[in-house]
């Protein structure tokens, strides 16, 4: 098992390098450069050249890349171009915990909602409950996150006043766990919706598949009741393919968090990324791209390991 | 010996909005304690549906027992609630299936799958159940049973898995073991070993066996009596020796003739022309008539009933009306 994990990590390293090259390349192709935004339009050409020189923007692209990667390996993402003198590390570290918290809570939410719904839909196939869940799943898949977010804010926060409209905590109040949870509820529900909808469908079809298998008939022939057949014999088999799907869903999750954080004023790296992208704050954009990619790679690694734990047929 | 299992006029139909498929259409089966009865017939004639009806696992929704009784020690299983039926399944009636490769749960160890059934029905604690599972595995021919219980099914061969299935089925000492094509998926030498094992166990524990197969060779190996099914009905019932000696029903005759015989260097293989009629378009009259070599007018207009020829012999054919044994010479 350990060697399997180590081997998988080794395989992830070249992947991460590929990602740094790609993201660096894409940013270079994108029009506009930071000097256009940060500098007084009346600046003299001579000063502009000096500015570019100062930030290394005149170096050949591969030199810029190597410098950046070299620093990054040492854990240094450089300074923000827009907020002068502030290290990117600092910006990210201030926000990463918020994002991770949001993602963790909505992942747990997504899992705990979609597994029971998927099981009910599969075991009571074509029942009213199944049709209802199916209807809402497709609705959930088809509805963009930001729209659900805005509607919830409008009704639950603005009209009914049940939830705060945004932020991680009430300003100028001492820390309180309830206040934090209160702020977490809406954004994590919104972030979870798209995934709950998709996951429910996957779990349903996977469970339907498993329930048709011969070993389920064997379990029934042993005299086990429906509950035991479903939870002991079918569920674990049914979740195996879902683990992979879950790993594949991570990127959309991170993408979704950018939108959700912006809407809910959640000071996470999603929001930071959003602002940085509009300000062409290269170092911040790049750092977040790399971190997000690393999260995806780690997520898939975890999915693979879980897969190996769940399915004894995987040899490692 | 008294009857352990009495199936009377069993009718299992698949009902959908469009049509009704009578998969099992008035079947009678009697099995005595310790007796092995073979249930033979071509593919699609309703053997599996008959056995699934007995253990109460007719595929649902769709399939349903619409008529008849299934008496196990005098208790009608058809009337039992699902909860009570759960106590019968795996304990009084156990079943093994055709596909050993897919009949075991791939994510649970072999041991767990035997232990769980022992703990469930016999209320043993885990360590006693584990010990019992090891003994069972030794009994079905795993000398290193304490190792095997920790293995996952994918590490075992088909023959080994079928032995595990047998150990599992025998774990609560059932009164009746239903074996639906237990050896069909195995190669010939393994087949013989598994049959030998079943024979030995049924003798040792006085377990009755309903052996479902389309292989008459397997039947002659294991069973004392044979029931031949055609298109959802019993067409002939006889002692094994009698039926091979002289099959009465033209269909049985065809079945026996289609078993490969090696005569000198020439392998002769006769098959019955045509196919089993699909249950939704049964021919009028005798269901076998369109394929029968000796059918006459009456066979196409009237449906024959199951006639008693002697106490152990029944046949559904107009050639044997009123107990008279004529016709159907093996031309
Ligand atoms: N789910 C179902 N829906 C409708 N009809 C079915 C269904 N399952 C089985 N049947 C019908 O029941 C009939 C009997 O099937 P059964 O499986 O009992 O045959 P069998 O004798 O066991 O054949 P085999 O040797 O292939 O196992 C088949 O002809 C089939 O048309
Ligand atoms: Mg069958």
Sign of CA dihedral B232, B234, B236, B241: positive
pLDDT, one tens digit per residue, over B62-102 is: 899 999 999 999 899 999 999 999 999 999 999 999 888 89
Compute the radius of gyration of chain A from its Cα atoms: 24
The span from the CA of B196 to the CA of B87, in Å, is 29
pTM of the model as a whole: 0.82
The span from the CA of B198 to the CA of B194, in Å, is 6
Which residues neighbour A208 within 8 Å (Cβ) at sequence distance 6 or greater? A122, A125
For ligand 1, whether the C-beta of B165 sits within 6 Å is no
Please name every residue paired with B15 in a beta bridge, in sequence order, or none if there are none: B20
Along the 316 residues of chain A, how does pLDDT read in single tens digits?
Answer: 788 888 888 888 888 888 888 888 887 777 666 666 666 666 677 777 777 777 677 777 788 888 878 888 887 877 777 777 788 888 888 888 888 888 889 888 988 999 999 999 898 888 888 888 888 888 888 888 888 888 888 888 778 878 787 777 777 777 777 877 888 888 888 888 878 888 888 999 999 999 999 999 999 999 999 999 999 999 999 998 888 888 877 777 778 888 888 888 888 888 888 888 888 777 888 888 888 888 888 888 888 888 888 888 877 6
Compute the radius of gyration of chain B from its Cα atoms: 21
For residue B159, give both structure tokens: 């023959």
Which residues neighbour A180 within 8 Å (Cβ) at sequence distance 6 or greater? A168, A169
Nearest bound ligand to CA B179?
2
For ligand 1, whether the C-beta of B47 sits within 6 Å is yes
The span from the CA of A114 to the CA of A239, in Å, is 11
What domains are there in chain A, each with its CATH number? 2-73 (no CATH), 93-310 (1.10.3720.10)
Probe target for ligand 1 pocket from B17, B48, B216, with the most ligand atoms within 8 Å of CB: B48
Of the residues B58, B103, B171, B210, the best mutation for testing chain A's interface (the one with the most A CB atoms within 10 Å of its CB) is B103
Chain B residues in contact with A219 by the CB 8 A cut-off are 105
């Amino acid at each position: 098992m350990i060697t399997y994990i180590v081997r998988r990590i080794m395989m992830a390293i070249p992947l991460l390098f590929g990602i740094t090259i790609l993201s660096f390349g894409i940013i270079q192709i994108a029009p506009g450069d930071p000097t256009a935004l940060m500098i007084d339009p009346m600046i003299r050409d001579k000063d502009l050249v000096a500015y570019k020189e100062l930030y290394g923007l005149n170096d050949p692209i591969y030199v810029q890349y190597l410098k950046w990667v070299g620093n990054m390996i040492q854990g240094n993402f450089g300074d923000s171009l827009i907020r002068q003198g502030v290290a990117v590390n600092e910006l990210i570290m201030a926000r990463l915990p918020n994002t991770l918290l949001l993602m963790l809570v909505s992942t747990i939410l997504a899992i705990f909602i979609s597994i029971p719904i998927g099981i009910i839909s599969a075991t009571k196939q074509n029942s009213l409950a199944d049709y209802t869940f199916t209807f809402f799943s497709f609705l959930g898949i088809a509805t963009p996150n930001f729209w659900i977010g805005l509607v919830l804010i409008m009704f639950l926060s603005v009209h009914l006043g049940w939830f705060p409209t945004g932020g991680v905590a009430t300003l100028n109040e001492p820390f309180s766990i309830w206040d934090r949870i209160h702020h977490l509820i809406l954004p994590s529900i919104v972030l979870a919706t798209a995934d709950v909808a998709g996951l429910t469908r996957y779990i349903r079809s996977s469970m339907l598949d498993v329930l048709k298998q011969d070993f389920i008939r064997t379990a029934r022939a042993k005299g086990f009741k429906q509950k035991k057949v479903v939870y002991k014999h079918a569920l674990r088999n049914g979740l195996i393919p879902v683990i992979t799907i879950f790993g594949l869903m991570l990127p959309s999750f991170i993408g979704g968090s950018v939108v959700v954080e912006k809407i809910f004023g959640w000071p996470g790296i999603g929001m930071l990324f959003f602002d940085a992208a509009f300000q062409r704050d290269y170092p911040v954009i790049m750092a977040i791209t790399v971190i997000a990619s690393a999260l995806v790679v780690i997520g898939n690694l975890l999915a693979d390991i879980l897969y190996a734990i769940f399915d004894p047929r995987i040899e490692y | 010996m008294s009857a352990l299992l009495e199936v009377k006029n069993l009718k299992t139909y698949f009902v959908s909005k469009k049509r009704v498929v009578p998969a099992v259409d008035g079947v009678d089966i009697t099995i005595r304690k310790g007796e092995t009865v073979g249930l033979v017939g071509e593919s699609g004639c309703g053997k599996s549906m008959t056995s699934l009806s007995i253990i109460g696992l007719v595929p649902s929704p769709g399939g349903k027992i619409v008529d008849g009784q299934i008496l196990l020690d005098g208790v009608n299983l058809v009337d039992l609630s699902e909860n009570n039926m759960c106590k019968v399944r795996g304990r009084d009636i156990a079943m093994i299936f055709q596909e050993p490769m897919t009949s075991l749960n791939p994510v649970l160890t072999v041991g767990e799958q035997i232990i769980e059934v022992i703990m469930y029905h016999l209320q043993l604690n885990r360590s006693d159940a584990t010990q019992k599972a090891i003994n069972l595995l030794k009994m079905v021919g795993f000398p290193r049973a304490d190792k095997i219980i920790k293995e996952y099914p994918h590490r075992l061969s088909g023959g080994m898995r079928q032995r595990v299935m047998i150990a599992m089925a025998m774990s609560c000492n059932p009164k009746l073991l239903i074996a639906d094509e237990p050896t069909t998926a195995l190669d010939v030498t393994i087949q013989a070993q598994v049959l030998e094992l079943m024979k030995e166990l049924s003798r040792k524990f006085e377990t009755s066996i309903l052996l479902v197969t389309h292989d008459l060779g397997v039947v002659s190996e294991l069973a004392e009596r044979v029931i031949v099914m055609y298109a959802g009905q019993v067409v002939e019932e006889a002692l094994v020796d009698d039926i091979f000696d002289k099959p009465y029903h033209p269909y049985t005759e065809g079945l026996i003739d289609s078993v490969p015989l090696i005569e000198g260097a020439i392998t002769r293989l006769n098959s019955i022309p045509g196919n089993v009629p699909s249950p939704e378009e049964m021919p009028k009259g005798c269901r076998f008539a369109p394929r029968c070599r000796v059918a006459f007018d009456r066979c196409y207009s009237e449906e024959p009933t199951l006639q008693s020829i002697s106490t152990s012999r029944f046949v559904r054919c107009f050639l044997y009306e009123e107990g008279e044994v004529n016709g159907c010479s093996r031309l």
